[in-house]
Amino acid sequence: MQSVLDVVVRVGCTNLTILLLGESGVGKEVVAQAIHGVPPRASHPFLKVNCAAVPEGLLESELFGHARGAFTGAYRDRMGKFELARHGTIFLDEIGEIPLRLQAKLLHVLQAGEFARVGAEKVLRSDARVVAATNRNLEDAIRAGQFREDLYYRLNVIAIRIPPLRERHEEIPVLAGHFLRRFNAAYGRSAVISPETMRVFTEYPWPGNVRELENAVKRIVVLGAAMLRQDLVSSPDGAAPPAPAESRATLTPISGNIPERLKTTARRAARAAERIAIEAVLDHVDWNRVKAARLLRISYSALRYKIVECGLDRGSPARSQDGVPMGRRATNSLPWPGPAL
């Protein structure tokens, strides 16, 4: 990543079009923001367009704007991202998904810096710097007739490949520490990551890259604190309960298809933890759902849905597969290694 940052510093101050390549979740948007953060464009807008998320019929208007009466529902003139990003940066995420019909117009903007709003004749100029990103192999898309070759070479002035997390394991402790501090502050927790968990983190291949690591740390912070119920249980003398020394995660290496197995295990554990946490809160407030929703920091309707989804009933406690009532399990033991209550 140091070589990536070196390139960012060198090209950030230019007007060159930049193409970011890498798997989903490696941090392409973060790199795009770092490019924008290099003067002189840092003080101007940074606008993102996810070309895969905007419907094809609206993408042209999103990029270039439209004139009043251009189509049904166009009741007023509207500026597009290329106008709004004046002197700044426009980040075209998932550029490989842009429809062929729009690729020619985008090529013209990149070559001449000119465009017109949908339904208008007036030619506008744009000096926005374009940073595009994709997790697709655009050369394969060209051969399949899904991407224009001339647009590819116009985008590929400076190409920056962002390596997947499995190729930079030495950064995992730094990233995990960053996410841990952020989520502890966001959720008012004091969770830590054990050396054993960090060792598993550095050995796991992370098919979801940095985004998957971020979500894993979030689960440690949220589920660990929820299971300890530190904001629900008071110590005998009435003082605030002590912060947990550690919230542990179990990510044991397993053979076979590791990514699928780990994700399946994580989902199953998350569902079990959710059932236990919800029933523990309901028992604590004597099944006052309004109070429970407030303590769980979810809406009342969401809590009602979760109660039905988890099969919870005040008169008939939900039971696990081995027949132990979930409320009793929550009080006496945990379904994974962790501090005892």
pLDDT along the chain (341 residues), means of 10: 90 94 94 94 94 90 91 88 93 95 94 91 92 95 95 95 93 93 91 86 90 90 52 32 37 43 61 77 84 81 81 58 38 32 26
Query: Are residue 48 and residue 185 in the same domain, yes or no?
Result: no
- Whether residues 103 and 250 share a domain: the answer is no
Closest to 320 (Cα-Cα) out of 338, 340, 335, 307: 335
110 shares its domain with 182: no
Residues 184 and 101 in one domain: no
Residues 288 and 307 in one domain: yes
Closest listed residue to residue 277, CA positions, set 251, 252, 303, 299: 303
CATH number at residue 25: 3.40.50.300
At 233, give phi and psi (nearest 5°): -105, 130
Residues 234 and 307 in one domain: yes
The answer on 131 and 170 residing in a single domain is: no
From 71, 52, 49, 74, select the one nearest 62 (Cα to Cα). Answer: 49
Q: Which of 140, 163, 186 is the last residue of a domain?
A: 163
What is the pLDDT, as a whole number, of residue 227? 40
Do 40 and 113 sit in the same domain of this protein? Answer: yes
Q: Which of 163, 191, 209 is the last residue of a domain?
A: 163
Side chain identity, residue 331: T
pLDDT at residue 267, rounded to an integer: 64
pLDDT of residue 108: 93
pLDDT (0 to 100) of residue 18: 96
User: What whole-number distance in Å separates Cα of residue 283 and Cα of residue 113?
Assistant: 64
Range of the domain at 143: 2-163
Residues 177, 113 share a domain: no
Residue 296 to residue 279: CA distance in whole angstroms: 11
What is the distance of C-alpha 194 from the center of its chain?
24
Do residue 142 and residue 186 come from a single domain?
Answer: no
What is the number of domains present in the chain? 2
Structure tokens at 87: 């002197």
Distance CA 338, CA 248 (A): 6
284, 269, 278: which is closest to 335 by C-alpha? 269
Domain-located, residue 182: yes
- CATH number, domain at 214? 1.10.8.60
Q: Kindly state whether residues 288 and 187 are assigned to the same domain.
A: yes
3-state SS assignment for residue 151: helix
